[in-house]
Amino acid sequence: MLAQTQTARRALSAAFLLVSAGMVLLTASRSLIFGSASGGWTYSYVSGFRADAVLTGIIVGVAVAVLLWYSRTLIDQYELLVVGGWVAVGFAGQLVLHFFYVYGIADIVRSQNANPFYNVSLAFKSYDFLSQYHALMTSMPAHVKTNMPGKVLFYEGLRFFTENPTGLGIVIVGISDLGGVLVYFLVKELYNNRAVSLSSLVLYLFIPAKVYFLPLLNIVSAIPVILALLLLVKFLRTRHRALASFLGFAVYAAAFFDPLTLALAPFFLVLIIRAWRLGQAGFGDVLTLLGWAGIGFTIPEIGVWIFFHFELFRGLAAISADARQFYINYGRPYEVWLWVNLYEFFLNAGVASSIACLMYAAVVIGRRIRSAALGAPPDHALSPHFGIGVLMLATFFATVVVLDLSGIIRGEVVRLWIFLAIFLEITAADFCELAGPGIAEIVVFCSIVQTAAAISMVGFIF
């Protein structure tokens, strides 16, 4: 435990609450800047302070915190029931919070500016759009030009079930929340700790940025990559070749839908290296993994090329070039966003969760320095070599730094890095469990109240 005494836990809880209260006050007074004027992109305030929204956030936050506390007593005996129940609770809670946004779900789905994928899906049949994708992109709206065809085709598939824009938006939110099930079982495989898995699931459901941008498709972008990571971990444990093959297919799906999520590649590499160093996988196992995953990736790549004349890597090159030109045209300088991206990301992933991650890193570094000074081996639970919590923490921060320094994204990371916020929540959940009882409940409460204050005042989607 990091917080050894009840007094320490109370102080930690008070710190989270005070910082989150400060966030609400800064938002209420319109003193908090979302974006960067000098960087060429800001989210504007569209409403005055909404006390009813904050009060609702407090009520929802208390209810979620109490349910999380109670769920811990049930998770071992009724695991699937608890996980399914949380998907339903998260779904309802998000819709309650989103009620205070200036635009309704149907407005967002139909928005030509924010969500042109829906309107393009109305204009083309699936076969025509995919088979003519490379030619069509020159006349497509900006968001469609800078994305792979998966998002338009996703709407084509959803419209098989309903043509109603509100219904489509609700289904997208539901699919995103079902992604939380993958998060739960991925964390369970990695940490072998249902408490950390449960906290990760609940924090995932209430990522502020996720709620701000529902029902845009960024809230479902991470699902193929999370599935691929889960398949990887299971393969390393079981050596089943089918898992490696499906992993390759999931990676193809990620590239086809939102290739930015492949920035999570360091997590794949680190988990493979860890399994190797621990003697859980040998050279032959890694070759088997790469071979069958390659087959799983190649089959859909060849099939789509033969039947639809769509070339994945040509599409990736085109959207990369469009993105670079976009930043030049709209005056988004690299230097400004190098720092503002980090500010935007950590702020809107949840200030309490972000502080938990930073404190976790500080504790790990401090213990490592102390162990080195004393000439003692590091504490096993926080071992920088084999402790999965520290490994995930280090990989998360390394991924953030590399992605930021690359300059691939300059602004709008509140929306575009939602997939990365998932791993912030996982590391925050791990810290909360190390810190002691009640800390995870406080962190998720703070995230919900922060969400309620911001979503009722700021025009994140317009």
Position 297 in a domain: yes
Answer whether 118's CB lies under 8 Å from 165's CB: yes
Spatial separation of the C-alpha atoms in residues 194 and 197, rounded to whole Å? 5
Question: Amino acid identity, residue 237?
Answer: R
Domain total in the chain: 1
Task: Please indicate, yes or no, if residue 2 is contained in any of the structural domains.
Answer: no
pLDDT for 326 equals: 77
Residue 82 lies in a domain: yes
SS3 category, 113: coil
Distance between CA atoms of residues 30 and 24, nearest Å: 10
Tell me, yes or no, whether 5 lies in a domain.
no
Q: Distance (Å, rounded) from C-alpha 381 to C-alpha 388?
A: 9
Cα gap 62→438, rounded to integer Å: 12
The rounded distance, in Å, linking the Cα atoms of 425 and 202 is: 9
- Non-local (6+) Cβ contacts of 11 within 8 A are none
User: How does DSSP assign 291-311, residue by residue?
Assistant: HHHHHHHHHHHHHHHHHH---
Task: Provide the CA 19 distance to its chain's centre, in angstroms.
Answer: 23
- Looking at residue 51, its amino acid is A
Q: How far is CA 387 from CA 21, 271, 347, 430, 434, in A?
A: 34, 12, 27, 12, 13
Report which of 183, 258, 281, 181 is spatially closest to residue 415, judged by C-alpha positions: 258
Query: What would the 3-class secondary structure string for 3-26 be?
Result: CCCHHHHHHHHHHHHHHHHHHHHH
Question: How would you write the pLDDT of the chain (462 residues) with one tens digit per residue?
Answer: 555 578 888 899 999 999 999 999 999 999 999 999 888 889 999 999 999 999 999 999 999 999 999 999 999 999 999 999 999 999 999 999 999 999 999 999 999 999 999 999 999 999 999 999 989 988 888 888 889 999 999 999 999 899 999 999 999 999 999 999 999 999 999 999 999 999 999 999 999 999 999 999 999 999 999 999 999 999 999 999 999 999 999 999 999 999 999 999 999 999 999 999 988 889 999 999 999 999 999 999 999 999 999 999 999 998 888 877 778 777 788 899 999 999 999 999 999 999 999 999 999 998 888 877 776 555 544 443 348 999 999 999 999 999 999 988 998 999 999 999 999 999 999 999 999 899 999 999 999 999 999 999 999 997
Whether 306 is covered by a domain: the verdict is yes
Does 7 reside within a domain? no
Within a domain: residue 18?
no
Q: What is the distance in angstroms between the CA of the first residue and the CA of the last residue of the chain?
A: 45
Distance, in Å, from the CA atom of 176 to the CA atom of 47, rounded to the nearest integer, reads: 28
Backbone angles phi, psi at 45, to 5 degrees: -75, 130
Count Cα atoms within 13 angstroms, Cβ side, for 189.
Answer: 20
Output the pLDDT for position 378: 55
Residue 399 to residue 382: CA distance in whole angstroms: 20
| Angle subtended at Cα 349 by Cα 343 and Cα 353, rounded to the nearest 5 degrees | 100
276 burial (CB, 10 Å; 0-12 / 13-18 / 19+) is: middle
Closest to 315 measured CA to CA, from 154, 124, 135? 135
Please give the residue range of the domain that contains residue 266: 23-28+35-41+49-455
Q: What is the pLDDT of residue 381?
A: 44
Q: Is residue 84 part of a domain?
A: yes
C-alpha 216: how far from its chain's center? Answer: 13
